[in-house]
Amino acid sequence: MSNILVFDSGVGGISVVREIKQLLPSVSIDYLFDNLYYPYGELDEVTLIQRTIAVIDCVAIEHKPQLIVIACNSASTTALPALRAKFDIPIVGVVPAIKPASKLSNSKVIGLLATQGTITRDYVEQLKINHASDCDLVNVGSNELVAMAEALYRGGKISQQRLLDICQPIFEQADVMILGCTHFPLLMECINQIKPPSLVIIDSGLAIAQRVKTLLDARVVKTKAPNDFLNHRALYTKSINDKSLIAALFSEGFNETTLITLPRG
Ligand code: DGL
């Protein structure tokens, strides 16, 4: 049976998990979120790299995934090279879909909605230079939107007016908007209610799921036999007192929730 690890700071990576489950229904998924260090969009690069390595290291030793998905743009745009150097397991990262956006845009003005960390990364600047040199990029970095997605996932309400205020610079200028944070697809229904009808929205979820499938197929990893138990676990680094989050995780299809304690040092 295939078993993969999907990683993020909070519940955002679940938007990627949904795409993977859709495409690969017989793969067991450990979803690890580092809620102790959330939000990653506010961490500096050194902390992000060290922390991501430490958490993945701890979980990978025990859980032995066949593949890891860093379902976090903030971490992927910073820590991917270090992670790939350290771990001998295929690692799929999630980075803003600038290349497909530039191809889709007619006006050649594309919007990037991401965390404040991600919009400042050299990695993103390089993506623009390599794949969208003919486009203007309207960057909106918002950590508040991440918190709004966390609240909505727990069944809370968010302000549509606030959402509109944050997205407005992109709505006014661009014809394609990239969701450059895995939390933001969780806001999709709300965004659809306020976005200009002609604005095209893209995120990386499906492309990531397809990449995972390609890599698992290439490794000829056995998929689930009929009687194998499909196990989806939610793992986290700070205990959760929030009943609405636990309920949301179970209704998402996770059948186990476990607190991970990192060794000191
Ligand atoms: N979901 C993450 C991302 O794609 C991290 C958000 C955060 O923790 O700030 O960037």
Q: For the chain, which domains are there?
A: 3-94+206-259 (3.40.50.1860), 98-203 (3.40.50.1860)
The stretch 57-72 carries a mean pLDDT of 93
Ligand 1 within 6 A of 93 CB? no
Rounded CA separation 25/167 (Å): 34
The dihedral formed by the CA atoms of 256, 262, 263 and 265, expressed in degrees to the nearest 10: 180
**Segment among 13-22, 145-154, 219-228 with least mean pLDDT:** 219-228
- pLDDT level of residue 263 (50, 70, 90 thresholds): confident
Any catalytic annotation for residue 181? yes
The stretch 129-156 carries a mean pLDDT of 98
The stretch 76-94 carries a mean pLDDT of 97
The stretch 141-166 carries a mean pLDDT of 98
User: Residue 100 pLDDT more than 90?
Assistant: yes
Output the pLDDT for position 190: 98
Cα(147) to ligand 1 centroid in Å equals 10
User: Residue 227 pLDDT more than 60?
Assistant: no
Rounded CA separation 176/164 (Å): 16
> 181, 184, 238: which to mutate for ligand 1, most atoms within 8 A of CB?
181
The stretch 37-43 carries a mean pLDDT of 97
The stretch 132-150 carries a mean pLDDT of 98
Note whether 27 and 53 are within 8 A (CB). no
Ligand 1 within 6 A of 237 CB? no
What pTM was computed for the model?
A: 0.95
- pLDDT level of residue 223 (50, 70, 90 thresholds): low
Cα(213) to ligand 1 centroid in Å equals 23
User: Residue 225 pLDDT more than 80?
Assistant: no
Output the pLDDT for position 181: 98
Ligand 1 within 6 A of 40 CB? yes
The stretch 164-187 carries a mean pLDDT of 98
SS3 258: strand
Cα(183) to ligand 1 centroid in Å equals 6
Output the pLDDT for position 228: 61
Output the pLDDT for position 231: 87
Rounded CA separation 51/48 (Å): 5
Note whether 111 and 68 are within 8 A (CB). no
Encoding tokens for residue 200?
Answer: 């095209």
Note whether 240 and 51 are within 8 A (CB). no
For 177, other C-beta atoms within 10 Å of its C-beta total: 26
- pLDDT level of residue 220 (50, 70, 90 thresholds): low
Residue nearest to atom 2 of ligand 1 (CA): 72
Longest dimension (CA), the chain: 53
- pLDDT level of residue 221 (50, 70, 90 thresholds): low
Ligand 1 within 6 A of 115 CB? yes
**Segment among 12-16, 187-191, 225-229, 231-235 with least mean pLDDT:** 225-229
Average pLDDT, rounded, for the chain? 94
Output the pLDDT for position 265: 58
The stretch 236-249 carries a mean pLDDT of 95
Ligand 1 within 6 A of 41 CB? yes
User: Residue 184 pLDDT more than 80?
Assistant: yes
Cα(225) to ligand 1 centroid in Å equals 34
Residues 6+ apart with CB under 8 A from 64: 3
Ligand 1 within 6 A of 146 CB? yes
In the chain, the DSSP E strands lie at 3-8, 28-33, 67-70, 91-93, 109-114, 136-141, 176-179, 200-202, 233-236, 256-259
For 24, other C-beta atoms within 10 Å of its C-beta total: 20
> 33, 40, 52: which to mutate for ligand 1, most atoms within 8 A of CB?
40
Ligand 1 within 6 A of 74 CB? yes
Note whether 47 and 79 are within 8 A (CB). no
Any catalytic annotation for residue 167? no
Q: Please tell me the chain's helix, strand, coil percentages from 3-state DSSP, rounded to the nearest 5.
A: 50, 15, 35
Cα angle 258-39-88, degrees, rounded to a multiple of 5: 60
